[in-house]
Amino acid sequence: MRNNSEVKSLDLKETQIAIKSLKDYFQRDLANTLNLARISAPIMVRPETGLNDNLSGVEKAVNFDIRNYKINVEIVQSLAKWKRNALHEYNFKCYEGLYADMNALRPDETLDATHSVYVDQWDWEKIISKEDRNIDFLKVIVSEIYEVFKRSEEYINQVYPYVLSKKLPDQIYFITAEDLLKLYPDASPKERERLITREKRAVFIIGIGRDLSNGEPHDLRSPDYDDWDLNGDILFWDDVLGDALELSSMGIRVDSDSLKEQLKLSDKEERLEMDYHKNIVSNKLPYTIGGGIGQSRLCMFFLEKSHIGEVQASVWDDSTIKKAKKDNITLL
pLDDT at 128: 98
pLDDT per residue, tens digit, the chain (332 aa), is: 334 444 468 888 898 999 999 999 999 999 999 999 999 888 887 877 766 666 555 567 777 788 788 888 888 877 888 899 999 999 999 999 999 988 888 777 788 888 888 889 999 999 999 999 999 999 999 999 999 999 999 999 999 998 999 999 999 999 999 999 999 999 999 999 999 999 999 999 999 999 999 999 999 988 988 999 999 999 999 999 999 999 999 999 999 999 999 999 999 999 899 888 999 999 999 999 999 999 999 999 999 999 888 898 888 888 888 888 888 888 87
φ and ψ at residue 101, rounded to 5 degrees = -75, 125
Among 114, 238, 233, residue whose Cα is nearest residue 168: 238
- For residue 43, the tally of other CB atoms under 10 A from its CB is 13
pLDDT at 51: 67
**Full-model pTM:** 0.90
* Catalytic positions, written as ranges: 53, 106, 121, 233, 246, 249
Domain extents in the chain: 4-326
**For residues 69 and 90, is the Cβ–Cβ distance under 8 A?**
no
Question: Does CATH number 3.30.930.10 belong to domain 4-326?
Answer: yes
